[in-house]
Structure 1
Amino acid sequence: MHLAQVNLARPLGPMDGTTMSEFARAIEPMNRLAEQSPGFVWRLQGDEVNRLVGRVFGDSHLLVNLSVWRSVDALRDYTYQSGHAQYVRRRKEWFSTFGRPHYALWWVDEGHRPSPREAKQRLESLQAHGPTPDAFTFTHVFDPSGLDAEAG
């Protein structure tokens, strides 16, 4: 099994504007860093992202990151221990808050590439039911068999 993740962000301004300029310049280097990180498998990219975001998520201004990793630890290390961490710490400078979970994790079969529609369903499950084996967070992980990793 591999770990899929979706992460949504609503920018505080246009991506080519002053507010977002530093973050916008960091997108490609952070994507390259992810792709070179141990445990990275795949990410949704290119025209497919722009075309699907507005249609699936109903908001063409959202930034959506959808990727697959070999494990929770691999994604956690990239997110919080690599150069990416400085952008996570500063996210309030660039993004509005959602007031509900803005990211979700879930297990997929090796080789599966989740669609934006699947990602939206997982995020909505987390928002409606809290962490479950269907969709969870870094703070409440379920293992690939569906067991609550916090209980073990």
Structure 2
Amino acid sequence: MTGQDYHLAQVNIGRLVAPKGDPRVQPFFDALDRINALAEASPGFIWRLKDEGGNATDIQYSPDPLLIPNMSVWADAESLFDFVYRSAHTPVMARRREFFERFQGAYQALWWIPAGTVPTVNDALSRLWLLDRFGPSADAFTFKSRFPKPGLAGPPQDLRPDPWCMGRA
């Protein structure tokens, strides 16, 4: 072990099928405050990207106004996994194809950061690029190929949910 503690940063981006205010994406926006509050109350949650309005959907980081970011930091991969796949977030996420276009390339990345670090959108975009360009590594990975914290040995681990267990927790 390195003596330094690490937290897990995550980014996911998506391109909305319609602008905010359009009925096709309104259910996503209607659920946003509830899901953000759920994340913040979840065990292991540390930080999430948000603007003055309390979410990240109005943060413009690309020329495309329909491309929106989501970033957060968690104590560990298991905490993030539990929020994503074993909470009220899961049914909303299951509807993502209604609200977001299919994305070409990496749209989600995980990476370890020293505890107390707040990642920037540019940090996150660089991790997506690394994952897209080179595949999973200790610098950018996925739930399917999760790398251990720095200083810990071991192969990547698969934390994807077992489809037979979904909804049975």
Output the TM-score relative to the length of structure 1: 0.91
CA distance in 2, matches of 1:59, 1:129: 25
Q: Does 1:82 align with 2:87?
A: yes
Structure 2 gaps of 5+ residues are 1-5, 159-169
Runs of 4+ in 1 over 4 A off after TM superposition: 47-52
* AA at the equivalent of 1:106: W
CA distance in 2, matches of 1:49, 1:92: 19
Ranges in structure 1 where 5+ consecutive residues have no aligned partner: none
CA contact (8 A) 2:8 2:77 kept: yes
Identity, in percent, stands at 37
Per-residue Cα deviation, 1:18-69 (whole angstroms, up to 9, x for no partner): 1001111001110000000000000111149567533xx4433211011100
Separation in structure 2 between the aligned mates of residue 103 and residue 58 of structure 1, nearest angstrom: 19
If the length of structure 2 is used for normalisation, what is the TM-score? Answer: 0.82
Q: Which residue of 1 aligns with 2:166?
A: none
Q: Does 1:53 align with 2:63?
A: no
Cα distance in 1 between the residues matched to 2:148 and 2:89: 25
Match of 1:109 among 106, 114, 129: 114
Match of 1:143 in 2: 148
Amino acid at match of 1:72: A
AA aligned to 1:132 is S
Partner residue, 2:44: 39
Determine whether 1:27 maps to 2:44: no
Alignment of 1:124-143 (within 5 A): 124-143=129-148
| RMSD (Å), alpha carbons | 1.9
More helix per residue: 1
- Structure (1 or 2) with the larger CA radius of gyration: 2
Aligned to 2:71, the other structure's residue is in SS state strand
